[in-house]
Amino acid sequence: MRIVTAATAAFALTVFSTAARADSIFTGAMDYESPIAMILHVGARLVGKMFS
């Protein structure tokens, strides 16, 4: 079960960071120092769009 959870988490992180990079390219967002910063920024924007 741990292997499945780890694989799922790795896949999700890959997808989220790829989406964050694509979003930063198309919207002209700032240059990020780490993938975590990209994920947090894009995630915050998506949550903001969902509730506004």
Q: What distance separates the 2 farthest-apart alpha carbons in the chain?
A: 40
Q: What percent of the chain has pLDDT over 70?
A: 69
Which pTM value belongs to this model?
A: 0.47
Q: What is the mean pLDDT of residues 28-33?
A: 63
Both tokens assigned to 29: 């967002």
* Sequence ranges of the domains in the chain: 2-50
Separation CA 50–CA 26 (nearest Å): 20
Q: Report the interhelical angle of 2-27 vs 35-50 (nearest 10°).
A: 80
Separation CA 13–CA 40 (nearest Å): 11
Q: What is the mean pLDDT of residues 1-29?
A: 74
